[in-house]
Structure 1
Amino acid sequence: MLNNSDELTRGGDNAAWQARKDAATPRGVGVMCGFYAARARNAELWDIEGRRFIDFGSGIAVLNTGHCHPRVMQAVERQLKSFTHTAYQVVPYTSYVELAERLNRAAPGRHSKKTAFFTTGAEAVENAIKIARSATGRSGVIAFSGGFHGRTMMGMALTGKVSPYKLSFGPLPGEVFHVPFPSALHEVSVDDSLAALQQVFLCDIDPKRVAAIIFEPVQGEGGFNPAPAPFVAALRHVCDEHGILLVADEIQTGFARTGRMFAMHHFEEEADLMTVAKSLAGGLPLSGVVGRAEVMDGAAPGGLGGTYAGNPLSIAAAHAVLDVIEEEELAARAMVLGNLLRSKLQGLMPRVPSMADVRGLGSMVAAEFFNPATGMPDATFALRVQRSALQRGLILLICGVHSNVIRFLYPLTIEHEVFEEALGILESALLDADPH
């Protein structure tokens, strides 16, 4: 029998809920923390037992404007009183059109743009590939090692990491080819990557059959690897030479995280299509594809959309998010916080020999760990740091092809004193984890 009492749904102890979770939900939905959220505010979160945590994960880069920003909450509440759903393809609403206009203006590029909204980041990627194939009449797609583009079938095919994303889920869609992503630490140069791309053209697919090259300006799950400027310039040149569309996956990099509204603002080159999601709507599900108007119009009417695509509550939240980013100058704030974090981590490197690299743009910062004795990626060390920090009340996320990278995704609205407290916890976790 269902029981909806407040006592059962809002309280209890974490161990009891963990047992219920294990009995009711599949193991395939991996869960990092063994405690359950009760409430959150900005960069702080409290569990059902009253313990406080500083959130440096932000729901995997979703909360650039923090938990429960008042402006976002008010916007959703106003929309809630009007209507919650009509299906935009059935009965449209003006807020959708207005948000598309705002993103068309905000996105990089001097060309005329159009925007379509969806629900999840994977959905945005799927639709970007659909649009590219429809606009070009081609089917091939090239992606990169270490890239992450979602858990749908096409998303998995594009993603450049097998475990855990592709295990036991094949066969995956065909005509997707992978090229190594540049990484100085892993001894893959820009020239190496471009040579591999040419090898794909020679051995696997005629470039005239390639619809799109999709890449992340800063790889997310792959380890927060920024794309070198010469690499982006070369990709643009290759795409122009062969009539290929360049797709920038900005799902994790967007909305002020890198110190600019979008990571592509750091480059002179322009993408033809751009995917967005995560921090677009402050925690509500919303994604989109922004692109050249003529490319976006490649799909026939009815070819794009979704029942919940561009939900009015999420659209209202997104308008508020864009207001907050502008009014609170979060792009500039991202640079300030990122510089403080990088300085802290770099200062600790002599005391933490396992910390091989500190990198990132703005507040999209990561630290990568290698075993000093073997020179090999050290996933165990990264896990020790994460667990030590969590015991002290700091939530950190791990990423990287070798799972040896810790990424830092605090809300850009975090209070200075809370940020400094988190850096102190991080220092203790790093020093305690290093046995050398």
Structure 2
Amino acid sequence: MIEDMLRTPAAVQDAERHTAHNYHPLPVVISSAEGAWVTDVDGRRYLDCLAGYSALNFGHRHPTLIAAAHAQLDKLTLTSRAFIHDQFADFCRELAALCGKDLVLPMNTGAEAVETGIKVARKWGYQVKGVPAGQANIVVAEGNFHGRTTTIVSFSTDEDARADFGPYTPGFRVVPYGDLAALAEAIDEHTVAVLLEPIQGEQGVVVPPEGYLPGVRQLCTERDVLFIADEIQSGLGRTGTTFACEQEGVVPDMYLLGKALGGGIVPVSAVAADTDVLGVLRPGQHGSTFGGNPLACAVATEVVRLLATGEFQRRSAELGERLHAGLRGLIGKGLVAVRGRGLWVGLDLDPSLMSGREACERLMERGVLAKDTHGSTIRLAPPLVITEEEIDHAVAQVAAVLAG
């Protein structure tokens, strides 16, 4: 750790003393934020280039979203799904339209959306496809990250996420990401779904080979299998289109959404699919006390309306080109590879130079916040409200860190 980092703020020490150590955060204590910037307890500002793992696509405290939250807080925050509230229909209708699907099932967290997708796919398999009871399987990819529930870590290939949490839930087949031949071989008459991230975020913003997603779509159609796209990190404008699948003209059978859907204010997730898929559910078979609550719907409806203008998708595409171009100029100068789409980038550092963690610590010292993953890789995912000048600043700080 850098020498200056040894002077750990008392607030960091206090948090570590009273918190389970399931995270290893950078030693910064944030007290306020606006747009693409956060401020710590000592008044120092940082450019946020993580954006809450894409939960803050619209920046910190976007005025439209904050206004919607304030207005709803003065009226109604929770009813449970035992009753209908006046924000629910608008949210479901407008999100369904954004996705091009018939139905929406609101939940809270991304992991809940994934669990919902798994349940729906299995039920569809039994009721619609005719898979014998208890024999459904779902094909997933190596390097996946879909959450950390017991079922989800059962098909993770990340030992940090998986080890010591067994016994594991059966019913999943893991194949190499980007390998259509392996996927085709794994699908059999009992396969009900293929569950993939169109870009693997936690793995280091890994973009699949060109033609892979269309190939997955074709295989699923030919074999009568649902294509489930986990767009929890990649969706809602992050990659320069509303959904990352759009980049290759692919429409999945089911979208799993979360993170940015809550505008960085409340946890909101959703599953979107047509009636022949989501329509298999009946009352009592799935639910959530807080899923689709009035506060969540009020905020998320405004998120959908921001996306409906196309402004944020365009910003991500245009500013993403600037970010990628600047970072590609550092290949051979401490960077080994740059990949991603839109305002989402994975950087592979020369491992002999420093670890991803050390790079993030040094970036923090220079006023830029980022996150490492898998050794010598770091991720950048700034809010879509970032400016050209701020992108240039971030690239300059990365260059300075690599130069030592």
Q: TM-score, normalised by structure 1?
A: 0.85
The within-5 A match list for 1:31-430 is 31-87=24-80, 89-108=81-100, 112-137=101-126, 138=131, 139-162=136-159, 164-182=160-178, 193-201=179-187, 207-283=188-264, 284-327=266-309, 329-352=311-334, 355-371=335-351, 380-399=354-373, 402-430=374-402
CA shift at 1:403, angstroms? 3.3
CA RMSD of aligned residues (A): 1.9
State whether residues 148 and 158 of structure 1, in contact with CA within 8 Å, keep that contact through their aligned partners in structure 2: no
Task: State the distance in 1 between where 2:78 and 2:355 align.
Answer: 47
Relative to 1, partners in 2 of residues 1:131 and 1:328: Cα closer, same or farther, differing over 3 Å?
closer
Q: In structure 2, what is the equivalent of residue 187 of structure 1? A: none
User: What amino acid maps onto 1:346 in structure 2?
Assistant: R
Q: Deviations for 1:142-194, whole angstroms, at most 9, x for unmatched residues?
A: 110111000111221233322x2112111220111111113xxxxxxxxxx22
Greater mean deviation of Cα atoms: 150-159 or 128-137: 150-159
Q: Deviations for 1:66-112, whole angstroms, at most 9, x for unmatched residues?
A: 0001111000011111111001x21112322211111211115xxx5
Relative to 1, partners in 2 of residues 1:350 and 1:35: Cα closer, same or farther, differing over 3 Å?
closer
SS state of the match for residue 359, structure 1? strand
SS state of the match for residue 351, structure 1? coil
Q: In structure 1, what is the equivalent of residue 20 of structure 2? A: 26
Q: Deviations for 1:364-397, whole angstroms, at most 9, x for unmatched residues?
A: 222123547xxxxx8x432232121011111011
SS state of the match for residue 211, structure 1? strand
CA shift at 1:237, angstroms? 2.3
CA shift at 1:220, angstroms? 0.8
State whether residues 150 and 159 of structure 1, in contact with CA within 8 Å, keep that contact through their aligned partners in structure 2: no
User: What amino acid maps onto 2:51 in structure 1?
Assistant: S
SS state of the match for residue 195, structure 1? helix
Q: Which ranges of structure 2 fall in alignment gaps of 5 or more residues?
A: 1-6
State whether residues 154 and 166 of structure 2, in contact with CA within 8 Å, keep that contact through their aligned partners in structure 1: no
User: What amino acid maps onto 1:197 in structure 2?
Assistant: L
Task: State the distance in 2 between where 1:262 and 1:38 align.
Answer: 32
Q: Which ranges of structure 1 fall in alignment gaps of 5 or more residues?
A: 1-12, 183-192, 202-206, 373-377
Task: State the distance in 1 between where 2:313 and 2:305 align.
Answer: 12
Q: In structure 2, what is the equivalent of residue 5 of structure 1? A: none
Q: Deviations for 1:241-286, whole angstroms, at most 9, x for unmatched residues?
A: 3221110000001111110111111123321111000111211100
Task: State the distance in 2 between where 1:391 and 1:180 align.
Answer: 38
Relative to 1, partners in 2 of residues 1:323 and 1:194: Cα closer, same or farther, differing over 3 Å?
closer
User: What amino acid maps onto 1:339 in structure 2?
Assistant: E
Task: State the distance in 1 between where 2:184 and 2:215 align.
Answer: 12
Task: State the distance in 1 between where 2:376 and 2:332 align.
Answer: 19
State whether residues 95 and 312 of structure 1, in contact with CA within 8 Å, keep that contact through their aligned partners in structure 2: yes
Greater mean deviation of Cα atoms: 323-332 or 131-140: 323-332
Task: State the distance in 1 between where 2:89 and 2:184 align.
Answer: 41
Q: In structure 2, what is the equivalent of residue 188 of structure 1? A: none
State whether residues 14 and 36 of structure 1, in contact with CA within 8 Å, keep that contact through their aligned partners in structure 2: no
Name the count of aligned residue pairs.
Answer: 389
State whether residues 51 and 57 of structure 2, in contact with CA within 8 Å, keep that contact through their aligned partners in structure 1: yes
SS state of the match for residue 366, structure 1? strand
SS state of the match for residue 178, structure 1? strand
User: What amino acid maps onto 1:384 in structure 2?
Assistant: E
Relative to 1, partners in 2 of residues 1:107 and 1:160: Cα closer, same or farther, differing over 3 Å?
farther
